[in-house]
Amino acid sequence: MHHLRVPTLAAFCGLFVLLLLSLRVTSTALLQTSESAPGEPSTAEPLLIRPLKRIFETKPSYTEQARVSGIEGSAVIYAEITENGSAKNLRLLRSLGYGLDEEALKAVQQWRFEPYVENGRLCRAATYVPVTFRLDRQIYGANIPSKTANEIFQVGVGGITAPRILSRVEPTFTQEARVAKIQGTLFLFIIVTSAGTVDNAVVLQGLGKGMDENALEAIKQWKFVPALKDGQPIPVMLTVEIQFALG
């Protein structure tokens, strides 16, 4: 038997309690960062995922291929922020292609962030970094900024409301995981689209033994009331934490 806990989608967590399991979804969550043996859960101290303020950033370069093709939007990068505010261990979570992913990673490596402080002490933390590419259009000699198509937003930033779960499918234990007595916490990065569907699901930390695949298959079937900004539905990024425990 397994138990799923997913933090609520509000900026400050509330808990949904179900008869046999509970689900918890957050825009900030714990993330294990060290590697573990295949099929074994990590036991490393987790890093908090926080929306950290940028204190220095350089504008990423547009590739000619992307410019000619009119590609715009947000690439999303996972980054670990050190005590001095530099970004390490970058990982691409959402791709734009056309060479823009490489430019986004190159830019974030040079950025500096406001360090995370806990109990008056500087600490390492993890964050999601949306790197947005927009083309300017010349109309009658004036620069007209493009619209926000294909951009990704963060819950709780700029008055963005949280999505709400309409329906869900719970992932199950695989027989292989049961035999191996694998249990622990699995973390997923997802984008909830403006239509309320799940897109771009990525395993941040898995458990192996087929449970990562089961979790991805299940989460892709979830339906949401989408997040809102100024009354309009928008896509947002979230972290889903799923805990598996053998009964």
Averaged pLDDT in 10-residue chunks for the chain of 247 residues: 43 29 42 38 60 92 92 95 95 96 97 94 94 72 52 87 92 91 91 96 92 94 95 93 83
Statement to judge: residues 128 and 58 lie in one domain: yes
Residues 39 and 63 in one domain: no
Question: What is the number of domains present in the chain?
Answer: 2
Regarding whether 139 and 205 lie in a shared domain, the answer is: no
Question: Is 73 found in the same domain as 137?
Answer: yes
Co-location of 137 and 61 in the same domain: yes
Q: What pLDDT, on the 0 to 100 scale, is given for residue 224?
A: 96
Q: Of 118, 151, 184, which one is at a domain's C-terminal end?
A: 151
In a domain, 145, yes or no: yes
* pTM for this prediction: 0.76
99 found inside a domain: yes
Q: State whether 98 and 175 are in the same domain.
A: no
Q: For residue 200, how far is the Cα from the chain centroid?
A: 9
The per-residue pLDDT for 137 is: 58
H or E stretch including 204? strand 198-205
Structure tokens at 212: 């990562």
User: Does residue 147 sit in the same domain as residue 162?
Assistant: no
Q: Could you tell me if 243 and 1 are in contact, meaning their C-beta atoms sit under 8 angstroms apart?
A: no
> Which of the listed residues 151, 168, 196 is the one where a domain comes to its end?
151
**pLDDT reported for residue 46:** 57
Identify the domain boundary among 151, 184, 217.
Answer: 151
Q: What DSSP string describes 15-78? A: -EE-SS-EEEEESS-EE--S---TTS---SPPEEB--PPEEE--PPPPPHHHHHHT--EEEEEE
> For residue 194, what is the domain's CATH number?
3.30.2420.10
List Cα–Cα distances, 137 to 65, 142, 147, 176, in angstroms: 17, 8, 11, 55
Q: Which domain holds residue 236?
A: 16-44+158-244
**Residue 244 confidence (pLDDT):** 85
User: Per 3-state DSSP, what percentage of the chain is helix, strand, and coil (rounded to 5)?
Assistant: 10, 40, 45
| C-beta separation of 217 from 183 below 8 A | no
Say how many C-beta atoms besides its own lie within 10 A of residue 116's C-beta. Answer: 20
DSSP one-letter string for 98-125: TTHHHHHHHHHTT-EEPPEEETTEEE-E
* CA 51 to mean position of chain CA atoms: 11
